[in-house]
Amino acid sequence: MRLDFNVLWIEDQPAHVDAQIERISQLMKQEGFHFRPTLCRSIDEVRRAISTDVFADEVDLVLVDWDLGSNLHGEDAIEAIREQVRYKDVVFYSAQRAPDELRRAAFDKELEGVYCTSREQLVEEVMGVFESLVKKVLDVDHTRGIVMGATSDIDQMVSECLSAIYAMSDESGKTELLVQAQQFIEEELESLSKLAAKMRAASHFDELHDARSVFTANDRLRMLARSMKTQLLEPHKQYRGSVTDYLEKVVPKRNTLGHVARVERDGKYVLIDRKGNVFDLETTRGLRRLILDLRADFRELLAALKSGAGGSVGS
């Protein structure tokens, strides 16, 4: 499970479901997930979309309209999809046919795992299937993995942002960035030297758990936060708060989630840190929502910086 909930959506008139897409996006965002539909107008487009194993593996749900135009019907599309994406749930809907008729069409094709509904009830049906799928995997351990995966993506964007800033800078700016990075590394090396001496003098195995790497993701993030305050990045000042919020509100919780214990409490499993703070599903839901918003800002910032750097950074 990821922050992105990927849907393969077959609809020959996508404008007819704009309202449903918007509503589903809002509801999933409240749960801390990003609704990401891939819209296809025809069976041929579907076959092209699912032609790679990577894409098929990332599909979480399939939505299919009954009337696909040119005398093609949804059950035929589902049959074609099942050849490549065998075990994904399907929501089969129509504005013209009753759900019972859709069920009969799916039954005649021997199609399983198909939920049938009207277009009017499509949002409710999709959210019902979404909640069922999410509840199967969204325990505290899985939600910890979701947070770790999403923040790793942002860490990579931070690195690419710094590369773009370097490419945009004049010679003195490039030198300053290099010096900043080297200062971080020198500080880490000094800390590692002290740590190595401490490790060599350790008398208990538990003392060996404090090792750290050099020029960490947090170092890069702090560099980006500094750079956001410079004149060079004044055109992108609207993202300063996002970088700071990620540094101050997400990173500490991400780091804590990496070192928590899974404990049963009142019949449910929760994650508890060394200070006794509890990370339950409600806490992590709020964290996912925050990460979703900040991830979107980091993507916009990175795109703007790459554009300013000539579009060559990280490509």
The per-residue DSSP string of 212-239 comes to --SS-HHHHHHHHHHHTTSGGGGGGGGG
Confidence (pLDDT) at 312: 46
* Burial tier of 62 (Cβ tally within 10 Å: 0-12, 13-18, 19+): buried
CB 62 within 8 A of CB 89: yes
* pLDDT confidence bin for 280, thresholds 50/70/90: confident
Q: In this predicted model, what pLDDT tens digit does every residue of 7-22 receive, in sequence order?
A: 999 999 999 999 999 9
Note whether 169 and 232 are within 8 A (CB): yes
SS3 (DSSP) at 84: coil
Burial of 79 from C-beta contacts in 10 A (0-12 / 13-18 / 19+): middle
Residue 159 has pLDDT above 50, yes or no: yes
> Which residues, 6+ apart, have CB-to-CB distance to 202 below 8 Å?
208
Confidence of residue 189 (pLDDT cuts 50, 70, 90): confident
Q: How many domains does the chain have?
A: 2
CB atoms near residue 204 (< 10 Å): 6
pLDDT of residue 158: 94
Q: Which domain holds residue 27?
A: 4-137
pLDDT-derived band at 259 (thresholds 50, 70, 90) equals: confident
Which helix (H) or strand (E) is 91 found in, with range?
strand 90-94
Q: For residues 31 and 95, state if they share a domain.
A: yes
Ranked by mean pLDDT, the top range of 89-93, 189-193, 308-312 is 89-93
Pick the closest to residue 94 from 13, 176, 196, 175 (CA basis): 13
268-272/261-265 β-pairing: antiparallel
Q: What is the mean pLDDT of residues 215-228?
A: 90
Q: In this prediction, what percent of the chain has a pLDDT beyond 90?
A: 52
Return the pLDDT at 150.
Answer: 87
Asked whether residue 281 falls in the same domain as residue 219, the answer is yes
Confidence of residue 226 (pLDDT cuts 50, 70, 90): very high
Structural domain includes residue 36: yes
Q: What is the CA radius of gyration of the chain?
A: 24
Co-location of 133 and 144 in the same domain: no
Whether residues 128 and 36 share a domain: the answer is yes
Which of these, 253, 255, 235, lies nearest to 309 by C-alpha position? 235
Residue 147's CB is within 10 A of a number of other CB atoms, namely 22
Question: 3-class SS at 156?
Answer: helix
| Domain shared by 109 and 161, yes or no | no
Of 87, 119, 137, the domain-final residue: 137
Closest CA to 148 of 279, 56, 277: 279
Comparison of pLDDT for 101 and 266, the residue scoring more: 101
Separation of alpha carbons 26 and 5, rounded Å: 13
**83 and 179: one domain?**
no
User: Do 187 and 268 belong together in one domain?
Assistant: yes
Same domain, 275 and 291: yes
pTM over the 0.75 mark: no
pLDDT value for 313: 45
